[in-house]
Chains A and B, each alone.
Chain A
Amino acid sequence: MLLSIVRKTLRDHRKSVLGWGLGLAALTLMQLAVYPSVRSQGARMRDLINSYPSAFKAMFGMEGVDFTTGQGYLSTETFSLLAPLMLIGLGIALGTAAIAGEEERGTLDLLMASPVSRGRVLAGKALGALAALVTVAAGFYLTVLAAASGYDMGVSAGRLAQATGAVLLLAVACGAVALLAGATTGKRGAAIAAGAGFAVVSYFIDSLAEITSAVRPWRVVSIFHQASATGALQGGLGVAGPLATAAFAAACLLAAWYLFARRDLAV
């Protein structure tokens, strides 16, 4: 019964998986296609970047990064903006759809009339959403891997996998927040706001910590710090940060499971 809910969830999202997957792959390819010309004009690009205010560079992770190396280019372009934005967006969409989407559409009554517990429905939907997210992340990884070796960017498959894993963790965490808000309130708006709000606040804590020492102690609460894709590209993903991020997502799902089982469903 759990499996059939997982399957149904994947079926519901097959179009978004395809759409987001192809979209992310296309954007990544376009972005990386520019890399050879960036590299060939290395000196002029460096001068341009150096002319930016240092606070700006710090905030967008450009400080101390050589834009013209493969690793630098991937970390400032693909892994600090494009991939997180797209995968987090998908994560929030999936987390929102899990309970709140179905409840607002009114189909949850029929589903919950089956002899399946609320916890099991939630688990099946969370697993299905995770599988969808992993599928898109895997497609992205293969795209980036092919492009990086094609353009000779000098980044190992292992490092790319770790960086992709970090982005996936970010998306899972934001999706779990959206799922928790949706399972608690039954409102899509609340789920999207919670997931997006969490992502934005986390991002700004991490970015501001680069330039403001007052924010620096708070950096540990940001998932962008704990599961840093650029950090993974440069020095590996580590263990503690990803574990903390995964534990946070698991705690959100546990809270969702507890609260969803105890409330009235909306008509």
Chain B
Amino acid sequence: MAHHIETEALTKFYGRHRGIEELSLSAGPGEVFGFLGPNGAGKTTTIRLLMDLIRPTSGIIRVLGYDLRRDPVMARRRVGYLPGDLKLYQDMSGRELLAFLASLRPGSDVGYAGQLAGRLDLDLSRHVHDLSKGNKQKLGVVQAFMHRPDLLILDEPSSGLDPLVQREFHALVRETADAGGTVFFSSHVLDEVERVADRVGIILEGHLAVVDTVAALKSRALRVLELEFAAPVPAGPFRAVPGVREVSAHQAVLRCEVVGPVGELMRMASARGLVNVISHEPDLEQIFLSFTQGGAVHAA
């Protein structure tokens, strides 16, 4: 099977209000796909379309090889889902809730669910209405993973989880991908996406702005290099180097903002007595900002 998720020109309007427009993306086996964007950009709309909870205005969705319009039930058999605004049945214990959901999903393993709860430090004997927000979210994670789905669709999965539990959750995500599954998750927490995702899609105002690997996005991002020389150097010649955006000199230290390869810059610097280099790694925040501010949205 080529892809676990595939959308073609997926468009959703709510009346005249835009949800998403012409969104085409795919995610395949073994992949963790991070779906990134500010609130209201269309992340939840996309995810609810993938779950067949809402129907597209136009475009095609294939989930695990099934056309969602024709075989939504078959498509959902091997999917685990965590809603963004998770609401659970209040008057059940965690165990009862999982047993009910398991009765609707072939391949569910209540024993495995118990193991997952143990890993996340969740007490399944407690009633849902007695659980804190974080513990409810853990229960949501357990039900999404308990039938060992081939595809996980998770809307803001780590919201409400404390850092220790988040780490365990990320491990779960990684294990799923390593076993050949696909994890599609949305987030507005940039370093989470950076830590867990193989590929990232950035959605802005309903349009998919960019899809790429984290590494490639980083190489396209603005980086800051601090070059330390034996003696003060003029900034002028460095400004002419391809990829260099901004140069400022403070005595023997040159601060350069660079996009792309830095080879040319390094050659010139070493010829002028380079002593030390401090490179500030770009994070997705910068990448994200470069897309939000750069007007790249409608060009995509």
A interface list, Cβ under 8 A from B: 1, 4-5, 8, 12, 105-107, 109-117, 262-265, 267
Q: Which one of A114, A263, A267 contacts B44 once the chains associate, using CB atoms below 8 Å?
A: A267
CB of A4 to closest CB in B, whole Å? 4
List residues 91-147 of chain B with CB under 8 A from any CB of chain A: 91, 100-101, 103-106, 143
B74 interface neighbour in A12, A115, A264, A265, Cβ under 8 Å: A115
Nearest B residue (CB) for A107 = B87
CB distance from A15 to the nearest CB of B (A): 9
B76 contact set on A, CB distance < 8 A? 113-115
Are B89 and A113 touching (Cβ within 8 A)? no
Q: Report whether A114 and B101 are in contact in the complex, using a CB–CB cutoff of 8 Å.
A: yes
Cβ-defined contact, B77 with A110, below 8 A: no
Residues of A with C-beta under 8 A to B73: 115-117
The interface bits of chain B over 67-90 (1 if a CB of A lies within 8 angstroms of the residue's CB, else 0) are 000001110110101010111110
| B contact residues around A262 at 8 Å (CB) | 55
| Known contacts A109-B87, A110-B83; A8/B74 CB under 8 A | no
**Whole-angstrom distance from the CB of A14 to the nearest CB of chain B?**
10
Asked whether, in the complex, the Cβ of B87 is within 8 Å of the Cβ of A110, the reply is yes
B79 partner, pick from A105, A107, A113, beta carbons under 8 A: A113
B51 interface contact, C-beta 8 A: yes
Option from B48, B89, B104 in Cβ contact (under 8 Å) with A114: B104
Contacts of B54 in A (CB 8 A): 264-265
Let me know if B53 is at the binding interface, CB within 8 A. Answer: yes
- What's the nearest-Cβ distance from chain B to residue A152, in Å? 44
Q: Given A110-B83, A113-B81, do A264 and B104 touch, yes or no (CB 8 Å)?
A: no
The residues of A that contact B105 with a CB separation of less than 8 Å are 114-115
Given A107-B88, A107-B89, A267-B44, verify A116-B104 contact (CB < 8 Å): yes
Q: Are A113 and B85 in contact (CB under 8 A)?
A: no
Counting from the closest, the 3 A-B pairs by CB-CB distance are: A106-B87, A114-B104, A113-B81
Asked if A109 and B83 make an inter-chain contact with CB atoms under 8 angstroms apart, the answer reads yes
**Nearest CB of chain B from residue A167's CB, rounded to whole Å:** 29
CA distance A111 to B106 in the complex (A): 14
In the complex, chain B residues whose CB is within 8 Å of the CB of A4: 100, 103-104
Residues of B within 8 A of A (CB): 44, 48, 51-55, 72-74, 76-77, 79, 81, 83, 85-89, 91, 100-101, 103-106, 143
Contact of A115 among B77, B85, B143 (CB under 8 A): B77
CB distance from B98 to the nearest CB of A (A): 11
What is the CA–CA distance of A4 and B54 in the complex, to the nearest angstrom?
Answer: 24
Given contacts A115-B74, A115-B77, A116-B73, contact A106 B101 (CB under 8 A): no
Whole-angstrom distance between the alpha carbons of A115 and B91 in the complex?
23
Given contacts A106-B85, A113-B83, A117-B73, 11 further A-B contacts (CB under 8 A): A109-B51, A109-B87, A110-B87, A112-B51, A113-B51, A114-B104, A114-B105, A115-B73, A115-B77, A116-B73, A264-B55
CB distance from B203 to the nearest CB of A (A): 17
A sample of 29 inter-chain contacts (CB < 8 A) reads A1-B104, A4-B100, A4-B104, A5-B104, A8-B100, A12-B89, A105-B87, A107-B89, A109-B51, A110-B81, A110-B86, A110-B88, A111-B104, A112-B51, A112-B53, A113-B76, A113-B79, A113-B81, A113-B83, A114-B104, A115-B74, A115-B76, A115-B79, A115-B104, A117-B72, A263-B55, A265-B54, A267-B44, A267-B48
Given contacts A113-B51, A114-B105, contact A267 B85 (CB under 8 A): yes
- A12 and B53 CA atoms in complex are apart in Å by 23
User: B residues within 8 A CB of A107?
Assistant: 87-89
Which residues of B have CB within 8 Å of A109? 48, 51, 53, 83, 85, 87
What A residues does B55 contact at CB under 8 A?
262-264
Q: CA separation between A265 and B54, bound complex, in Å?
A: 6
Nearest-neighbour CB distance to chain A for B11, whole angstroms, equals 14
Residues on A with C-beta less than 8 A from B77 are 115
Q: How far is the CB of B217 from chain A (nearest CB, A)?
A: 30
Shortest CB–CB separation between residue B86 and chain A, in angstroms? 8
Task: For the complex, give the distance between the alpha carbons of A200 and B292 in Å.
Answer: 57
Q: Which residues from chain B contact A112 at a C-beta distance below 8 Å?
A: 51-53
Closest to B155 in A: A109
Residue pair A264, B53 in contact (C-beta under 8 Å):
yes
- Chain A residues with CB under 8 A of B52: 112
Tell me the minimal C-beta distance from B141 to chain A in angstroms: 13
Which residues of A sit under 8 angstroms from B88, Cβ to Cβ?
Answer: 107, 110
